[in-house]
Amino acid sequence: MKCQDVRRFLYAFNDGALEVKDNLEILGHLNMCPHCAARADADQQLKERLGKAFAAETRPRPCART
Amino acid sequence: MRASKSLSFERVAMPHLDAVYRVARRLADNEAEAEDLVQEAFLRAFRAFDRFELRTYGAKPWLLRILHNTYYTRRQRANREPTLLDDVDFDCFTGELEPELLERWPDALPDWDAFDGELKNAVAQLPAEYRTVLLLWAFEDLSYKEIATVCNCKIGTVMSRLYRARQILSQRLAAYVAERNLASGSSDV
């Protein structure tokens, strides 16, 4: 699999949305290609950071009566 | 009977109030509008509780779908309907990606703490249809299938919107890294 083919499916790979066979092909490529592996890491970190950036956001509670 | 319905609704729906609010807050322009959206969505949900669908997935996708519908109904009323992409099939999803789209990813990882504000701005500036799938994917951790159910669109559409949303954020990230030279040294791998 070439880099360009891998990059088409990289998001789906990170999201666990590919068949096992395709997963293995991409995993094989990532083990050999540090550039694509760095892109996969960057995307995973983006999702993680998105979750953290907004995780603390909760619905405003009504003010307590004084 | 009514008391029983209220209790049952409270038990099923209320644990997801914050999750629904988080999505509403990113869709709405301000806190008040988000609160209003959530209230209307929960009111609709309560009225429709007897016909509660999506039992397979649980209450959260059901509530988010109602929120999504409430939001888009309001936008249509306000004549601000977003421009939607044409639906695409899962099979042809990858065929429509421009080659240069695949080359825009930054290799280097940024200083994430410094990037949080920029990330929030970038999310706020996404087109509404991209923002919705991104919210459901990143914050609520829904699967493509669940997102498709919530947004009432095809899985291929979810994938293409998610792909573009991630690409847009990646481009913003790359520009931010380049401007501030925040690369952590991983660009040489």
Q: Give the ipTM of the model, two decimals please.
A: 0.78
pTM above 0.90, yes or no: no
pLDDT tens digit string along A35-47? Answer: 888 888 888 888 8
A9 pLDDT more than 80: yes
Residue B49 half-sphere exposure, CB side, CA atoms within 13 Å?
18
Token pair of B1, please? 């009977």
Report residues of chain B scoring pLDDT below 50: 80-88, 90, 92, 95, 184-189
Closest residue in chain A to residue B100, using alpha carbons only: A4
B31 and A60 within 8 Å at the Cβ level: the answer is: yes
**How distant, in Å, are the alpha carbons of A12, B16, B38, B122, B158 from that of B32?**
36, 19, 10, 22, 28
Q: List the 152-171 stretch of B: residues with Cβ below 8 A of A.
A: 159, 162-163, 166, 169-170
- Which of B25, B97, B189 lies closest to A38 in CB terms? B189
